[in-house]
Structure 1
Amino acid sequence: MILIISSPDDAVTIDFVRPKVEARGVPVLWWDEDQYPAHSRLTVAIDEAGCRQILKHNGQTYDLADVTTVWDRRPSPIQVGDLVTDKDYRAYAELVAGRFRDGFWDLLPARWMPAKPTRALPADNKLFHLAKAAELGFTVPQTIFTNDPDELIPAWNRTGGQAISKALTYRDFFIYGDQHLLYTTRVQRRHLAGRHRIQHAPVILQPDIAKAAELRVTVVADQIFAAEFDSQSSRLTAQDSRRYDDNSVTYRAVELPDDVAKRCLDLTSALGLNFGAIDLIRRKDGEYVFLEVNVNGQWGFIETLTGLPISDAIADWLTADEPVTQDATKEDAR
């Protein structure tokens, strides 16, 4: 059985793969962590005979000994539930539930994509994987990670006033009720006067590299799927490709130089990942520059726009240890 851990909002991506898994006669259990502990029950029984792990949800009981592979896609945060109203006890319940969940997954003897959560979390840290990429021979931007306001002006001067800032993690937040999402931003001279603000939330400072093109390289185990796109053809994506402008930007499948492809495989392997979405820049002189690796980065749009068979590779990997039967069994515990 394949266990998919992801939000129902992730259906667009899941549905690239799940039908291909089920067509091979492999049962799929789709469950989201926001069901725990309010609506789902997790149990671990340990004795001399070994360890038994049980998931109960929607009146069904699942023995997770049947799980050969886990696809840890986009889980939602755990939810204690509305019945716990005391703030202090709620904080305690969330802490205990989270610790138990972490141990529960660590004990599960299955193959994981991209990796077990305790391994994927440090791999997803931009400090760690940028340092590892440099160690493996990637060209990387000269980068400062800091919350020291005194570092901003020297970093800006080193780039001749062509510095950019990035957030350490990609998530939205609210200020006085207004939603904000931080994209890559050019550091203007006027920003230097407000440099004291970075003491509260560390930032990434890098030179603004002139781009011939950008690439999303999707690694699935030992397979590489590289897509190049002209982010500079749109004002929206010129600074940050996550602003997506698919009507103006052309995507195409490409072959990476052998040395770059090897570094991509070496990096995901060194990080302990069975999946990674790597972002690169191709400079105008032809040099490839590493930006980051997303341990669960989006790839469905790449498959749609280029035809690269990423979902086939994921389905192959997920079912590699499963006996294939003729009749598909569908289970959905969302």
Structure 2
Amino acid sequence: MNSAGEPSTIWATAVDPGAIDDTITRTAHLLQACVDKTADLRVTVVGRHAFCVRIESDLLDWRQDYDRISYTVVDSPPGLADAAIAFLDALDLSFGVFDFAIGRDGSPVFLECNPNGQWGWLEDATGIQIAASIADLLLETP
């Protein structure tokens, strides 16, 4: 919330390396290389199942304007789903939402894994059955 009590978000933005000085030491930051990307890939892993959605947007951070996004359900790039599942296994998690940037050469570049990532709007937009998969997983869990 901002000072007026309204919801606010910090978007990913490009940072000029020359603008970074000693004041950066005053608080936590998350800096990562800016990927020259063609699209994004959101991979929602539920148990042993990965749902992959390609997100097309002309924005650096597609979350800034959902009206400028298109979605396509895609197959997982070779090895990516298995790697995501192994990542979650190492953390003893059954669910995670992975974000990747798709580089100009088509390779996915890992950005983050959110163990409580949002997925509902992807199901609405594409018809993928994430909620049913979560329900199935909960029924399997002792």
Normalising by structure 1, what TM-score? Answer: 0.39
* Equivalence for 1:201: 27
CA distance in 1, matches of 2:87, 2:17: 36
* Equivalence for 1:312: 132
Distance 1:196 1:182, change over 3 A: farther
| Contact 1:252/1:305 (8 A) holds in 2 | no
* Equivalence for 2:72: 252
2:16 aligned to which of 175, 188, 208:
188
Moved over 4 A (4+): none
CA distance in 1, matches of 2:26, 2:13: 18
- CA apart distance, 1:189: 6.6
1:241 aligned to which of 43, 48, 62:
62
Decide which structure has greater helix share.
1
Opposite residue 23 of structure 2, the aligned amino acid is R
2:43 aligned to which of 190, 211, 217:
217
Distance 1:277 1:186, change over 3 A: same
Opposite residue 265 of structure 1, the aligned amino acid is I
Based on CA coordinates, which of the two structures has the bigger radius of gyration?
1
| 1:281 counterpart = 2:101 | yes
Partner SS, residue 281 of structure 1: strand
Aligned residues with identical type, % of pairs? 34
Distance 1:321 1:278, change over 3 A: closer
Opposite residue 299 of structure 1, the aligned amino acid is W
Opposite residue 187 of structure 1, the aligned amino acid is V
- CA apart distance, 1:272: 1.2
- CA apart distance, 1:207: 2.1
CA distance in 2, matches of 1:261, 1:317: 17
Partner SS, residue 269 of structure 1: helix
Q: Show CA shifts across 1:31-54 (max 9, x none).
A: xxxxxxxxxxxxxxxxxxxxxxxx
CA distance in 1, matches of 2:103, 2:56: 12
- CA apart distance, 1:277: 0.4
Opposite residue 225 of structure 1, the aligned amino acid is F
Q: Show CA shifts across 1:164-199 (max 9, x none).
A: xxxxxxxx5x5xx3565322121137734xx33322
Q: Give 5+ residue unaligned stretches, structure 1.
A: 1-171, 233-237, 323-334
CA distance in 2, matches of 1:244, 1:318: 33
The worse-fitting range, judged by mean Cα deviation, of 181-190 and 250-259 is 181-190
Equivalences for residues 93-242 of structure 1 within 5 A = 172=1, 174=2, 177=3, 181-188=9-16, 191-192=19-20, 195-232=21-58, 238-242=59-63
Equivalences for residues 16-165 of structure 1 within 5 A = none
1:271 aligned to which of 91, 102, 105:
91
- CA apart distance, 1:258: 2.6
Distance 1:321 1:219, change over 3 A: closer
Partner SS, residue 137 of structure 2: helix
* Equivalence for 1:160: none
- State the superposition RMSD in angstroms: 2.1
Partner SS, residue 267 of structure 1: helix
Distance 1:259 1:189, change over 3 A: closer
Q: Give 5+ residue unaligned stretches, structure 2.
A: none
